[in-house]
Amino acid sequence: MVEGLAKLKPGLAKLKAPDPAKAHGAWVYLVISIVAGVLSAARFDPATACLAGLAFLGVFLSAGSLASYPKRWLGRFVAGLTLVCACVATALALGSNPMFLAYGAVAVFPAAAAAWFAFRHGFQSAGALSFAVVTLVVVAPASLCAGGAPHFLGLLLLGLLAPFFAWRTWCTRQALRASHGWTRGQLRALGWREAAIALGWTTFSIAIVHIAAERVG
């Protein structure tokens, strides 16, 4: 038993995750995903779609606060939870499709995969980061669903965004690992480039969703 615990210690140490709220990349993908869901729901109900996106933002804040436990975590946890409750209650009161809450269960699967990679290879591994990004992207179809769009449009949006964002995250992490000595300016340039790529692909994906909605409608 002692030997088993000794083997677990390295994996548990790797699970000590950095605060995601301090990761610029996480904010980029989260905000872009929320915007993607809201803009894709423009012909339905963008207001409730926005509320759903803000609810997932609250989940992000609350979950991320646990990374800083036991120091200065409670305030952010409560603030995030309050945002979740307020946005969900308002969205439902405005007639939002309650099935958008089911996407919270969908997000569990990539989150579990990210945790597995984190346990095996560290939270900063390409696999862990890629699946963590997929977890964030789930907010896009959730927002679209909350706006009253058909479920197939949400799945289409998820299928367009999630693999692409995961691929870009994987490539970025591998590039950072392949060479050392990155300067602050180089890292900033890399971040801006990836944000621009993500924004361009998201614009294309939103257009595809609108075309599909028009064909069906």
Over residues 6-53, the pLDDT tens digits come to: 343 444 444 556 777 778 889 999 999 999 999 999 999 999 999 999
pTM to 2 decimals?
A: 0.89
Q: Where are the domains of the chain?
A: 19-216
Whether pLDDT at 191 is above 60:
yes
Cβ atoms of 135 and 162 closer than 8 Å: no
Q: pLDDT digits over 108-153, tens only?
A: 999 999 999 989 988 889 999 999 999 999 999 999 999 999 999 9
Cα end-to-end span (Å), the chain? 61
Residue 175 CB: number of other CB atoms within 10 A?
12
The closest alpha carbon to 41, from 28, 51, 56, belongs to 51
Name the residue among 217, 210, 216 with its Cα closest to residue 36.
Answer: 210
